[in-house]
């Protein structure tokens, strides 16, 4: 079995054998007039081509290998995982309001009863879920006491009316809600948020082509919620009502969930977390989940594959009944098409029907869970037309009813009933359901500062010493639970370098360092030529932004309007500078790292932190570097790095965040500001962050080390007001700790760019250069 690096300990591999300080400086000095092609203490760098692209490809290879290894480790476990952890990662954590009855949806011109079947009535209904949030759909009520109570869950692009036969769009044989009602079951069919993009965006500012499910997923993820969790809760609220019915004089009827496509996912997840559900029918969904990163982004669940494949979720259902129907999956080729007016959806996101063999393989993996509980017969696989047929086959429905103890033979399908509502339009109901969940999520955003305050209540800021001591837990939590923690670098650094610049005041070397298998760090070191034997100087790590390269900041001839060759300018002042390549380059190619990493409880910054760990180790080993004076200065995505990496790595003596610092929770969740990431294609930004830390809390983790913000008034990242509001909390914190001189903000008249005035002075003062 392959060993997953994720399951190892935190032991790293770090062996650096630096040359004596004087000897290193003498070698550099002696090479002043020669063609010194690599740094002393390194081997020649011979890699050619685009090293940034190689880096991104290596991270992809690492994740693909870890996905396989993690699955093998999961497969070897005999006990099912913890359902409460599963509830948390799908965001099904809010307290539901009590459901004593379903509300009939009627007006003076439209009765609640919308149809009449052969032996059942159909009602338009709603039910409470949370404050301000209801579920809506149809109730199919049998004329006799129910043989079973079932939530029939359609695919996201099917309306309840389609599944009940009241509206066109679903084959008659597939209308399993109607078939269950015809067989004496009480059936509730909920509305699911669909895959259209009609209301995704901010009217009057910008609309997007994000499916409604993605639009909700993005904002909900930030507050630790998920579209999946919301809809599981709507289903469980119906189960609450079923429980009320079972407590009544009519006696208990078994409870089940049955779903197809997105509804199959929800049926599986709901049954996994609620023991009151006696049986589940999962159609067009069950299969190995290692390729979940190829599915629509609204199926992305943080840490899912560390513990939960579909088989493990089946194990949570055991010893209750599970019927898996292998059927054609919904055909989803991606988000709605981009137009000039609508963009920003995560690309890819296809749903395709799995081969029957894949479904069989996952079912076989689930069998030991049932066998261990002496319930082997409770797991059943039904192949609809060889696994590629329509959902809701007669065999699947019969298997579900038998599992519920319904002994009567399956009745032949009747004729679909007619909807008494003339020209019924389900779109206002869909908008209402979407608006409710958006409003609920926005209320969670508004409450997040109080949640953060509670989370940080045990951090003691009475002194710098107490702060460092009591925030170790918070650093670890953010690293492990928000960013995703990899073990320390596991390979020897194997430092390689080559000379690429030879300027009057400095030389520049490309450097690569091994980190983990397939993963390396890469950057450009600028070493001043006036280094004296025995001298140790400060280093400024100069970080580029989105789609940037080390050459943009360190190149002596670079003319980038964003960076203004700030690493080279600092080297001309006598600082040693190092400009790393961070892997946010390659457009969607790098963003797919997030898609592959999230199910493993990792993210892009999991790798960036490891690369910086290795970089700091190597820099500290250089005999002309003062390890106590290594600062960080990053722009844009490099500014994001400034509040995520130096706060967690003690090797950084200070951090400067340029052109990024702002009210990060608003930036990711706002439904009324043009700056919102909800409107863009940057789906890599989302984190389980709002209830844990905003930028102020992340910056405060730098204390007592210095922290600075550089802000151009014309920077479109966010308005000055957002930046000033969030930074004021940092300023106040440092002042209360008695360290007001260790933090600063510089506003300047300019755009999204390095200004290099107040920040350069901040570096000189706090890195004590010149000495």
Convert the pLDDT of each residue in 638-689 to its tens digit: 999 999 999 999 999 999 999 999 999 999 999 999 999 999 999 999 898 9
The per-residue pLDDT for 248 is 81
Residue 149 contacts by C-beta under 8 Å, 6 or more apart in sequence? 185, 186, 242, 245, 246, 253, 254, 255, 256
Residue from 643, 635, 646 nearest 712 by CA: 635
Average pLDDT over residues 562-567: 98
Pairing assessment for the beta strands 537-543 and 576-580 based on DSSP bridges: parallel
- Please report the pLDDT score of residue 10 as a whole number: 43
Q: Which two tokens stand for residue 233?
A: 């809760």
pLDDT recorded at residue 618: 98
- How does pLDDT run across 146-202, given as a tens digit for each residue? 999 999 999 999 999 999 999 999 999 999 999 999 999 999 999 999 999 999 999
| Model confidence band, residue 1 (pLDDT cutoffs 50, 70, 90) | very low
Distance CA 249, CA 245 (A): 8
- pLDDT recorded at residue 33: 45
Give the pLDDT confidence score for residue 4 in this predicted structure.
63
- pLDDT reported for residue 78: 72
pLDDT at 506 > cutoff 50: yes
Confidence (pLDDT) at 32: 45
Checking if the pLDDT of 514 tops 80, the result is yes
Q: Is the pLDDT of residue 26 over 60?
A: no
What pLDDT, on the 0 to 100 scale, is given for residue 24? 53
Q: Span 530-550, mean pLDDT?
A: 97
- Average pLDDT for 255-282: 98
Ramachandran angles phi, psi of 767, nearest 5°? -100, 5
Q: What is the pLDDT of residues 288-310, one digit of tens each?
A: 999 999 999 999 999 999 999 99
In this predicted model, what pLDDT tens digit does every residue of 213-235 receive, in sequence order?
Answer: 999 999 999 999 999 999 999 99
- Per-residue pLDDT band for 250 (boundaries 50, 70, 90) equals confident
pLDDT value for 371: 97
At residue 718, the pLDDT reads 97
Is a pLDDT exceeding 90 seen at residue 719?
Answer: yes
Answer whether residue 20 shows pLDDT above 90.
no
pLDDT for res 9: 47
Say yes or no to pLDDT of 35 above 50: no
- Residue 767: pLDDT over 60: yes
Angstrom distance (rounded) from CA 39 to CA 508:
10
Q: Note the residue count of the chain.
A: 771
- Please give the mean pLDDT across all residues of the chain: 94
The reported pLDDT for the residue numbered 30 is: 46
Q: Looking at 96-110, 259-273, 536-550, which range is the least confident one?
A: 96-110
| Token code pair at residue 337 | 């098409």
Compute the average pLDDT of residues 514-539.
97
**Residue range 465-488: mean pLDDT, rounded:** 98
pLDDT band at 19 (very low <50, low <70, confident <90, very high): low
Between 7 and 714, whose confidence is greater? 714
Q: Are 299 and 292 in contact (CB under 8 A)?
A: yes
pLDDT at 27 over 80: no
Q: Calculate Rg over the CA atoms of the chain.
A: 29
pLDDT tens column, 351-389: 999 999 999 999 999 999 999 999 999 999 999 999 999
Strand 149-153 to strand 186-190: parallel, antiparallel, or no bridges (unpaired)?
parallel
27-41, 270-284, 557-571, 735-749: the lowest-pLDDT one: 27-41
**What stretches of 572-635 adopt beta strand conformation (E)?**
576-580, 625-635
| Beta-bridge partner residues of 508 | 501, 526
């Amino acid at each position: 079995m392959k060993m997953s690096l994720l399951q190892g300990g935190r032991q790293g591999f770090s062996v650096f054998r630096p040359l004596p300080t004087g000897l290193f400086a003498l070698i550099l000095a002696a090479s002043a007039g020669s063609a010194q092609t690599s740094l002393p203490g390194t081997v020649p760098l011979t890699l050619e081509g685009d090293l940034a692209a190689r880096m991104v490809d290596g991270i992809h290879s690492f994740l693909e290998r870890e996905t396989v290894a993690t699955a093998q480790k999961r497969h070897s476990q005999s006990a099912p995982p913890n359902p409460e952890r599963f509830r948390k990662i799908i965001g099904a954590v809010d307290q539901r309001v009590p459901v004593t009855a379903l509300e009939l949806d009627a007006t003076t011109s439209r009765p609640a009863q919308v149809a009449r079947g052969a032996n059942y009535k159909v009602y338009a209904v709603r039910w409470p879920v949370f404050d301000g949030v209801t579920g809506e759909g149809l109730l199919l009520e049998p004329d006799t006491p129910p043989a079973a109570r079932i939530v029939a869950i359609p695919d996201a692009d099917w309306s309840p009316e389609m599944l009940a036969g009241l509206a066109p769009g679903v084959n008659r044989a597939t209308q399993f809600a109607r078939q269950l009602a015809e067989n004496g079951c009480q059936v509730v069919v909920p509305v699911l948020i669909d895959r259209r993009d009609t209301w995704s965006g901010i009217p009057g500012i910008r609309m997007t082509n994000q499916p409604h499910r993605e639009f909700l997923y993005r904002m909900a993820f930030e507050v630790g919620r998920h579209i999946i969790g919301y809809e599981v809760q709507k289903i469980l609220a119906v189960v609450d009502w079923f429980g009320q019915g079972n407590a009544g004089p009519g006696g208990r009827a078994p409870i089940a969930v049955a779903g197809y496509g997105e509804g199959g996912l929800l049926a599986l997840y709901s049954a996994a977390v609620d023991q009151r559900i006696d049986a589940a029918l999962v159609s067009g969904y069950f299969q190995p989940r290692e390729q979940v990163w190829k599915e629509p982004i609204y199926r992305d669940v943080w840490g899912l594959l560390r513990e939960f494949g579909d088989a493990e979720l089946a194990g949570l259902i055991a010893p209750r009944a599970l019927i898996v129907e292998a059927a054609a999956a919904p055909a989803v080729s991606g988000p709605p098409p981009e137009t000039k007016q609508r963009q920003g959806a995560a690309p890819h996101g296809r749903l395709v029907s799995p081969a029957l063999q894949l479904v069989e393989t996952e079912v076989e993996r689930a069998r030991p869970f049932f066998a261990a509980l002496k319930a082997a017969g409770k797991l059943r696989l039904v192949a609809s037309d060889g696994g590629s047929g329509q959902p809701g086959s007669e065999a699947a429905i019969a298997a579900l009813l038998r599992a519920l103890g319904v002994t009567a033979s399956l009745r032949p399908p009747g004729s679909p009933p007619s909807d008494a509502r003339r020209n019924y339009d389900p779109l206002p109901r869909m908008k209402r359901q979407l608006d409710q969940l958006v409003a609920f999520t926005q209320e969670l955003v508004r409450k997040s500062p109080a949640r953060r305050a509670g989370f940080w209540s045990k951090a003691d800021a009475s002194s710098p010493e107490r702060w460092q001591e009591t925030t170790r837990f918070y650093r670890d939590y953010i690293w492990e639970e928000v960013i995703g923690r990899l073990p320390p670098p596991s390979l020897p650094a194997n430092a390689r370098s080559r000379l690429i610049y030879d300027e009057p005041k400095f030389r520049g070397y490309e450097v690569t360092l091994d980190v983990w298998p397939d993963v390396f760090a890469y950057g450009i070191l600028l070493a001043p030529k006036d280094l004296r034997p025995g001298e140790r100087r400060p280093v400024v790590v100069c970080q580029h932004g989105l789609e940037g390269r080390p050459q943009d900041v360190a190149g002596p001839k670079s003319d980038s309007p964003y960076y203004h060759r700030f690493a080279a300018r600092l080297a001309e002042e006598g600082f040693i500078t190092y400009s790393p390549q961070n892997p946010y380059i390659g457009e969607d190619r790098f963003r797919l790292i997030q898609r592959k990493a999230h199910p493993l409880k990792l993210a892009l910054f999991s790798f960036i932190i490891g690369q910086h760990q290795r970089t700091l180790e190597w820099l500290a080993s250089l005999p002309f570097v003062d390890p106590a004076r290594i600062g960080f200065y990053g722009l844009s995505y490099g500014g994001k790095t400034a509040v995520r990496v130096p706060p967690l790595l003690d090797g950084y003596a200070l951090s400067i965040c340029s052109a990024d610092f702002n009210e990060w929770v608003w930036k990711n969740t706002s439904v009324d500001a043009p700056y919102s990431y909800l409107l863009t294609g940057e789906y890599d930004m989302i984190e389980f962050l709002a209830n844990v830390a905003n930028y102020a809390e992340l910056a405060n983790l730098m204390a007592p080390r210095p922290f600075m913000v550089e802000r151009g008034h014309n920077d479109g990242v966010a308005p000055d007001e957002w930046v000033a509001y969030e930074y004021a909390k940092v300023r106040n914190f440092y002042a209360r700790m008695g360290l007001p001189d260790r933090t600063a903000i510089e506003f300047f008249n300019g755009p999204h760019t390095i200004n290099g005035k107040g920040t350069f002075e901040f570096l000189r003062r706090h890195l004590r250069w010149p000495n």
